[in-house]
Amino acid sequence: MIDAAQLHKDAVIIDGVCSLLDQPRYIEKYREGGTTVVTPTIGVISGAREAAIEIGRWHNLVAKSPDLLLIRSVSDILYAKAENKVGVLLHFQGADPLEDSLDLVDTYKSLGVGIIQLAFSARTCVGQGVEERGNSGLSRFGLHLIDQMNEARIVVDCAHTGYACTLDAIEASRGPVIISHGNARSVHGHPRNIPDDIIRAIAATGGTTGTTAYPPFVASNRPPTLDQFIDHVVHIASIAGPEHVSLAMDYFIGQHPYASNELATKFWEKMMSEGPFTTDTHPPPPHIYPSGIETPDRLPALTERMLARGLSEDEILAFYGKNLMRVLKRVWGG
């Protein structure tokens, strides 16, 4: 019988979306849960100046923390695991920090940005987000951007990106394309979730679709169950192959228990008034994550339950980190 605790301890675990780290003090919760690499969100609906400040803040934090490591290569990930450090991989949710300059792609790459999401639900100069009206594809600028990202060895991320725009990106990219976080629409018919044909198309590039525990994307009941979250993992693996599913929990500062109901409501109201979201896709709080994995420190419960559901050791290790490391190695090189 496989020892769940030992398997969890041995795994390289990459959480592909860590919005909770808008407040970096919560990094200790990820450490307690056994996470090897966190991916703080940088540059959501912000320009170059704001993104540069966020990147500088993370560089300063890593420089002052011997137990953190800025991730620029797969070798760095393996080193972080061996040395019991938490790796920090910088990830843009949306291409707003590029403004209208392709030259900034190489600048951000030099600063450690390894993944750039094309859109954050709204329409931008790159292309259309998933919550925008209509179904337009990539702009000419977006096509040039993907070419530049391929040259700079930055992963193309189509989370929050519209249907036609995602297909355009898959066709245009010379390397793997990922959806950093997005569950299976066939399992739960939320409009933000990913249809099977897109999941398969992402897999055909060599990329992964990262399952998220954000409650409205998991199931209609609140809170969702741990098994309902695992249902998405199982489905993506069944239609695309177990090598094309990854982890992206997307814990965030507006969730229970990190925000009171009052603060969570204010946060949600701000998102609804200023962001690209609608109440149809992002219902009001409380946002309580699946039972057993409500916070990052409780991640070992996911390993236990996946084993109980019949997932193999190899499938779990691939889901936690090996699949995404394969993508990163192919794109980043080295």
Which string of DSSP letters, residue by residue, matches 221-278? SSSPPHHHHHHHHHHHHHHH-GGGEEE-----TTSTTTS-HHHHHHHHHHHHHHSS--
Cβ burial 136-162 (10 Å sphere, 16+ → b, else e): ebbbeebbebbebbbebebbbbbbbbb
pLDDT for residue 275 = 72
Domains and CATH numbers, the chain: 4-332 (3.20.20.140)
pLDDT for residue 76 = 98
Q: What is the pLDDT of residues 45-79, one digit of tens each?
A: 789 999 999 999 999 999 999 999 999 999 999 99
Model confidence at 291: pLDDT above 80: yes
Confidence grade of residue 330 (pLDDT, cut at 50, 70, 90):
very high
pLDDT for residue 130 = 74
Q: What percent of the chain has pLDDT over 90?
A: 87
Q: What is the pLDDT of residues 294-313, one digit of tens each?
A: 999 999 999 999 999 999 99
Query: Locate tokens 């800025």: which residue?
Result: 70
What's the CA gap between 259 and 32, in Å, rounded? 20
What's the CA gap between 173 and 169, in Å, rounded? 6
CB of 175 closer than 8 Å to CB of 150: yes
Confidence grade of residue 15 (pLDDT, cut at 50, 70, 90):
very high
Model confidence at 133: pLDDT above 80: no
pLDDT for residue 267 = 87
In sequence order, what are the residues at sequence separation of 6 or more whose Cβ sits closer than 8 angstroms to the Cβ of residue 82?
none
Q: What is the pLDDT of residues 196-252, one digit of tens each?
A: 999 999 999 999 999 999 999 999 999 999 999 999 999 999 999 999 999 999 999
pLDDT for residue 278 = 83
Average model confidence (pLDDT) across the chain: 95
- Structure pTM? 0.96
In sequence order, what are the residues at sequence separation of 6 or more whose Cβ sits closer than 8 angstroms to the Cβ of residue 28?
none
Confidence grade of residue 132 (pLDDT, cut at 50, 70, 90):
confident
